[in-house]
Structure 1
Amino acid sequence: MSKVWTATSLLFLLVLLGGIALAGSALAQGDATTPRKGPVIGFSQATTVEPWRLLFNEELRAEAARHPEVTVLMADANDSVAQQVTDMEGFIKRKVDAILISPKESAELTPVVIKAADAGIPVFVLDRNVETDRITQFIGGDNRAIGRAAGHYAVQLLGGEGKARGMIFEVWGGMKTRPSQDRHDGFHEVVEREPGIRFVGQPVDCDWKQHLAYEAMLDILDKEPRIDLVYAHNDPMAYGAWMAARDEGRAEGIAFLGIDGIPSEGVRWVRDGVLSATFLYKTPGDEGLRQALKFLAGEPIARTLTLPTEVIDRQRAEEILAARKNQP
């Protein structure tokens, strides 16, 4: 009987020492009482089904590799708000030194971010902000500015300021996310000054997914005899819309604009003439980790850090891809 009790006790102890279970990879194990060499940082990712988010994670891991004293716990919510809340609560229970989070949806993740702040854990929000000022820092691109840049580009494609004419179909990302709303608002801020431009179709939430944009484009092509430009809130959706137009024999004569500027996707599609342009939306993972480590070391940091953007047309796309090809 004593042998059975010893085995059970050992198993229970091992479970405790295993810490919380996380989707994705954890670079270290152990509970909150385990001695550790350096800070433990939790990273809650909304999903990894999008190439932009895979690059996001890749760049964060590359930065983490430069800091061997740091433990980074990575959790993938698999597109589930409920799972992301659970992941965040796991980090809070573990008493990590800081949390990086890229929310699936802004409002739904706000309460658990506040809970982390109440627990004294600094929270760094990446890409999509939450609806509270109880965060340590927000890092991301200026989505409204990116939308305005796309709007100016669209106006030029359709004839220039004061002369632009055409029908635009807008492909939305997640309607409950701040980036999608800002990309919409910035674009309309510019384009609605042009009386010759009209929008077709009703807003459809394509949730940043290529296949949903494909379906939305098929639907609007069936209803509208004329579409001059498609503005999609990310490159995969722009590409999905282009594929639908191609399959219907209507891709010629339609300009497609996307956002993200990943070399393996949007930049390549611009170079190949599939998209007219994309707009860089840099991933914030590497900078997020750098900023968290600065804060934990007692260095001052800004409350908001805006990442740079640029217009990537065909010439710029060729330059970017040529430079990557020549990298050692």
Structure 2
Amino acid sequence: MTDPSLARRRFLLGASALGAGALVVGCTSNEPAEANNGNQVAQGGEDNAKPGKEVTIGFSAPAADHGWIAAITKNAQAQAEAFEDVTLEATEGTNDVNQQIAHVESLVSSGVDVLVILPHDGTALTATALEVMDAGIPVINLDRIFSTPLAYRCWVGGDNYRMGVNAGNYIAEQMKAKNVANPIIGEVAGLDNLPLTQERSKGFKDALERAGLKLGPRVAAEFTVETGERQTTNLLQGNPKLDALWNHDDDQGIGVMAAIENAGRDEFIMVGGAGSKNMMDLIKADSSVIKATVLYNPSMASTAISLARLLGQNKGVADFAEHEIPAFLTAYSAVVTKENVDDYADVGFDS
């Protein structure tokens, strides 16, 4: 972070230190509840959707070279447009760490009230986020987490471990329903060097083991269509029989499905990951191996923008008992099947 931009922001904050302090810690918009034996009770309070103080939110994310990332940016923009008291200043997406740092510096210099950052590399952007927080600008860290909680006021993201658990639980239930003894269960992971992939795989394996099942053949792709097809082809060639398969990512799932169709295989069920519209359509049609997908909603970007607005307006979440917005908000990885796919169609994204 360049010193001039921060110095300018610190000067502005110094003129109203009390307001800046309130901005950082936040205070609820809810009316104080009457004492109830010392217990704080959520009261609902004012309607937070009503127009309030004007808030300028800065937004920075990686390049939209992946369906899920593209949906993140679209959701953030759509949510900001839904509030007449919000101005969104979004930078062009980039996978260049230095360029993203420069973008964040530019947003700070422009005088934004709150920053929402999905870092291309959480570790590499941590120092920058720390400086933004030190300048009195609340940071909402979206999904890819910074190295220290000191670098954000609130983290909003998905539950990678639970994603794997729920995929494993669904497959275990299906195997039991089909009376399949000792099923052969495969896995097409994402990039193995990423913590999120490791967490998803651990959750999947833990759930299978708890159900008395074992994980069988496993390959790792790179969250791309090409690697999904290549690695799935290798897995299928090495295993003439499968009972179930979990693919971590619906974007790479396009390649996974292509490999399955090219191999003419249909003896197993497949579970996807993330919740793309493409996979939801296939699940609804029920004419292929894919029977479910485990959500990792890009709608978390909408939530991040909503929380950024509340921070900028010194409000809390109306239905929460606490005066401030939470420090962590983890989205739930619901399992989408033919039975409930219509309920989740609104969060599906294009791969």
TM-score by length of 2: 0.72
Matched with 1:226 is 241
Matching of residue 70 in structure 1 with residue 86 in structure 2: yes
Cα distance change on mapping 1:97 and 1:244 into 2, 3 Å: same
Deviations 1:222-275 (A, max 9, x none): 33333332212222223321211111222x11322112224x222112112331
Matched with 1:120 is 136
Moved more, 164-173 or 252-261: 164-173
Matched with 1:244 is 259
Q: Which letter maps to 1:280?
A: L
Q: Which letter maps to 2:156?
A: I
Matched with 1:168 is 185
Secondary structure of the residue that 2:91 maps to in structure 1? strand
- TM-superposed CA distance for 1:286, in Å, is 1.5
Asked if the contact 1:126/1:139 (under 8 Å) is kept, the reply is yes
* 1:99-178 correspondence runs (5 A): 99-134=115-150, 135-159=152-176, 165-178=182-195
User: Matches of 1:57 and 1:235 in 2, distance apart?
Assistant: 18
User: Matches of 2:328 and 2:190 in 1, distance apart?
Assistant: 23
Matching of residue 272 in structure 1 with residue 285 in structure 2: yes
Asked if the contact 1:295/1:301 (under 8 Å) is kept, the reply is yes
Matching of residue 258 in structure 1 with residue 272 in structure 2: yes
User: Matches of 1:164 and 1:120 in 2, distance apart?
Assistant: 59
Structure with greater contact order relative to length (CA < 8 Å, sep ≥ 6)? 2
Secondary structure of the residue that 1:292 maps to in structure 2? helix
Secondary structure of the residue that 2:240 maps to in structure 1? coil
Cα distance change on mapping 1:291 and 1:196 into 2, 3 Å: closer
Q: Which letter maps to 1:288?
A: A
Cα distance change on mapping 1:290 and 1:205 into 2, 3 Å: same
User: Matches of 1:209 and 1:164 in 2, distance apart?
Assistant: 33
Cα distance change on mapping 1:108 and 1:242 into 2, 3 Å: same
- TM-superposed CA distance for 1:310, in Å, is 2.1
Asked if the contact 1:124/1:136 (under 8 Å) is kept, the reply is yes
Asked if the contact 1:242/1:256 (under 8 Å) is kept, the reply is no
Matching of residue 310 in structure 1 with residue 325 in structure 2: no
* 1:68-107 correspondence runs (5 A): 68-107=84-123
Secondary structure of the residue that 1:276 maps to in structure 2? strand
User: Matches of 1:43 and 1:118 in 2, distance apart?
Assistant: 18
User: Matches of 1:232 and 1:160 in 2, distance apart?
Assistant: 21
Asked if the contact 2:273/2:295 (under 8 Å) is kept, the reply is yes
Secondary structure of the residue that 1:269 maps to in structure 2? helix
Structure 1 regions of 5+ residues with no counterpart? 1-18, 20-31
User: Matches of 2:244 and 2:140 in 1, distance apart?
Assistant: 37
Deviations 1:181-211 (A, max 9, x none): 322221111113455523214x5241x2222
User: Matches of 1:279 and 1:92 in 2, distance apart?
Assistant: 36
Asked if the contact 1:137/1:302 (under 8 Å) is kept, the reply is yes
Secondary structure of the residue that 2:215 maps to in structure 1? strand
Please give the root-mean-square deviation of Cα atoms over the aligned residues, in Å: 3.0
User: Matches of 2:104 and 2:234 in 1, distance apart?
Assistant: 38
Deviations 1:116-153 (A, max 9, x none): 22333211011222221111001123222222111101
Asked if the contact 1:113/1:123 (under 8 Å) is kept, the reply is yes
TM-score by length of 1: 0.76
Cα distance change on mapping 1:227 and 1:55 into 2, 3 Å: same
Structure 2 regions of 5+ residues with no counterpart? 6-10, 13-52, 316-323
